Amino acid sequence: MAVKKLVPKSYSDFTVANLREMFGLKDKKQALHLEGLEVPISDWLQTALEMQRDLPVGTEKAKSELIITPILLELRSKNKTKFTFFSGYTFEVDKLNALTGRCDYLLIKDAQSVDIESPIIGIFGAKDDSIDRWVGQCGAEMYAARLFNQQTNTHIETIYGAVTNGYEWLFLKLEEDTLYIDTARYSIENPNRLLAALQTIIDFYYL
C-alpha cells in the first residue's frame, strides 16, 4: 500500500520535502558567515537572561516570553529606525498553498509599521529541542514573506530566518530558488555572538 503524503494546511505542517515538491526550492547547508564583531549587551538583557535560568522555561510560550522576546527587544533598541517586529500574528499570503497561519515572529523593515509590511526575517520557535526538524516550517514562512513582498511591489527578494528553541539558534537564508541552512549554531550562552549574527542580518538590508 502506498503511503499517503501529508498535505500541509498551514506553516506549521511544512517539511523541507514539501518546499521542494510544492515550490521547487532546493536546500543547501552552507556557511552564512554571520560572524560580525561581537555586539555588547546591555545590563538589562544580561539580567533578564540570568533571571530566566531560575525559572521553569520548558514550554514554547515560556521560551518565547523569557528568552526570544528580550533578545529581539535588545536588538531593536540598537536599531530603532531600521525594523520592528510582530509576534504571534496571522500571516495569510496564499491559502491555497497553505501559506497561512500564525508566525512566531516576523521582523519588518518599516520600523514605524502598525501592520505587516516589507517582512525581512521570520523566526520560528521550535516545538522541541530538535531544531533541524522545524526548518521546513520556518522556510515556508520565509517563502511566504518573499511572495508577500512581490505581491506588494516591495523589492526585497532575499529573506532571512531562524529556528530557535530559545537557547540555540539556527539561521536560514532564502535566495532565488535555494534555502540555505547555516552550518554554524548560535547560543544564548554567548549572547554577544548571537546579537552580532542578528545585527549582521539587519545590516544586510541597509548596505
Res 130: pLDDT? 84
Structure confidence by residue, pLDDT tens digits, 120-134 = 999 999 887 789 999
Structure confidence by residue, pLDDT tens digits, 55-106 = 665 555 666 677 899 999 999 999 999 999 999 999 999 999 999 999 999 9
* Residue boundaries of the structural domains of the chain: 32-204
Res 103: pLDDT? 96
Q: Buried b vs exposed e over 120-156: b needs ≥16 C-beta within 10 Å? A: bbbbbbbeeeebeebbbbbbbbbbbbbbbbeeeebeb
Q: Which of 3.90.1570, 3.30.200, 3.40.1130, 3.30.70 would CATH assign to domain 32-204?
A: 3.90.1570
Q: How confident is the model at residue 49 (pLDDT cuts 50, 70, 90)?
A: confident
